[in-house]
Amino acid sequence: MGRSMRWMGVLLLFLGLASLACQTLLGGGEEANENTNVASPTEEAVQVIPPTKTVQPPAEATQPPATAAGPAQSLNLSDPGLYDAPPALTANQIDLLFQYERQNDDGSTTSGQVTGTGGRVVQPPALSLVFNAEGSANFVSGNTFTIVQSEGVEYFVLPTGNCVADESQQRLQGFGVLLDTGGILSGEAPLLEAGVLVNGVLADRYALSTANVNFSHPTAGDITEIEQGSIAVARDGGYVVQVVLDGRGTSALLAGDAVTEGDIYYELNFTPTAESLAIAIPAGCPGASEIESEFPVLEDASQVTAVSGILTYQSNRPFDEIVAFYQEEMAAAGWATANEFIDEPIASFLFTKDGRQVQISVVEDAASDAFIVAIVEQ
């Protein structure tokens, strides 16, 4: 299954968000996303624990009382509404288990797993997920990756311990963050079990198989087969409460090897809670609107980014006013102008002071009437 787990968002989160953020912080080729702040590492390294080699199957469901409304005989996996959160839910816990194991030619075993725990609150919208990699699994530069969404800001505590705060993208959509809206699963799933209690919810369980995989989807290349699989959907509300997949495939995330096939098991559980969950901003994470810079910044700054010596922001001030602001403020701070280019809507300045150099650029934002200011110390 490997990258097929992207249909749940796992590799979207790990190999997309984590890798992009790690590359940005560690000097990779990706540029920083706008509106991002980074705090220095504040956490100790996480000890790697050997993975559990024997996967425990889901506990037997207890038969609940019968209801008047019967189950549908099949489930349309292509329906995007299947992955929406029901408005009646106050909050839900989230638990994830993602495992890989293979027997090597020399008799050794390669095994790795990722576990995820957290929760989601409907109002005000908030989300918290902590992922741990064990065994052969890794997140490029560490073993723990934390995601928190609170007050319109997404916080990513990277495996390095750095914290990135981002208010510009809002990629995490709460309930559906680990569920498919990308089309890798499609078609009809037949009813497997009716009226079972799953995570405290009366649900109907539908069978998933390799036939439900859309192999034309670009993320389906690592799937070999789904030997057993199911998706449990709440009878009241029609939302997903559990997904289980057991099969064969490859996984660079879990095995450190994107080629060799192994056994893969995936289980995702959503458990509704009667009371709201307390979700706090991770320790050491700055607010995304905080600007920590020794260089002058306009008062109307928004969409702020602060990553590895680079600060960018957006301003609605007129072009001439922005240019004059930096000419005056940098001179007042003792910076000399070594070079400048001004041709509206573009301006670029090179300032020097005590052997240091800083480049300040102003460009028009093509998507709005605002200007983007970038401050880069060289």
* Number of domains into which the chain is organized: 2
- Claim to verify: residue 119 and residue 182 sit in the same structural domain: yes
Compute φ and ψ for 330, nearest 5 degrees: -70, -40
With respect to residue 217, please indicate whether it lies within any of the assigned structural domains: yes
pLDDT of 175 reads 53
% of the chain at pLDDT higher than 70: 72
Mean pLDDT value of segment 113-122: 88
Residues counted in the chain:
378
pLDDT band at 307 (very low <50, low <70, confident <90, very high): low
- Claim to verify: residue 268 and residue 308 sit in the same structural domain: no
Decide which of 230, 256, 273 is a domain's last residue: 273
Tens-digit pLDDT profile for residues 219-242:
555 678 899 999 999 999 898 999
- Claim to verify: residue 237 and residue 357 sit in the same structural domain: no
pLDDT of 369 reads 83
Q: Which residues pair with 362 in a beta bridge?
A: 347, 373
The amino acid at 132:
N
With respect to residue 362, please indicate whether it lies within any of the assigned structural domains: yes
Q: Is the pLDDT of residue 64 over 80?
A: no
Q: CA 287 → CA 39, 45, 283, 316, distances in Å? A: 10, 24, 11, 21
- Claim to verify: residue 307 and residue 259 sit in the same structural domain: no
Which domain does 240 fall in, by range?
2-42+75-273
Q: Is the pLDDT of residue 144 over 80?
A: yes
- Claim to verify: residue 166 and residue 248 sit in the same structural domain: yes
Tens-digit pLDDT profile for residues 71-112:
999 999 888 888 777 777 888 898 989 899 999 999 999 999
- Claim to verify: residue 85 and residue 218 sit in the same structural domain: yes
Mean pLDDT value of segment 327-347: 95
Q: Which residues contact 98 (CB under 8 A, 6 or more apart)?
A: 5, 10, 113, 114, 115, 116, 254, 264, 265, 266, 267
CATH number at residue 307: 3.30.310.80
Q: Are strands 144-150 and 126-135 parallel, antiparallel or unpaired?
A: antiparallel
Mean pLDDT value of segment 293-310: 76
- Claim to verify: residue 231 and residue 364 sit in the same structural domain: no
Q: Is the pLDDT of residue 138 over 90?
A: no
- Claim to verify: residue 344 and residue 218 sit in the same structural domain: no
- Claim to verify: residue 316 and residue 216 sit in the same structural domain: no
Q: How many helices (H) and strands (E) does the chain have?
A: 4, 19
The amino acid at 179:
L
Helix (H) or strand (E) holding 146: strand 144-150
- Claim to verify: residue 250 and residue 317 sit in the same structural domain: no
Q: Which residue has the higher pLDDT, 59 or 247?
A: 247
- Claim to verify: residue 213 and residue 120 sit in the same structural domain: yes
Compute φ and ψ for 265, nearest 5 degrees: -125, 135
With respect to residue 113, please indicate whether it lies within any of the assigned structural domains: yes
- Claim to verify: residue 253 and residue 327 sit in the same structural domain: no
Q: What is the dihedral of CA 31, 43, 45, 258, to 10 degrees?
A: -30
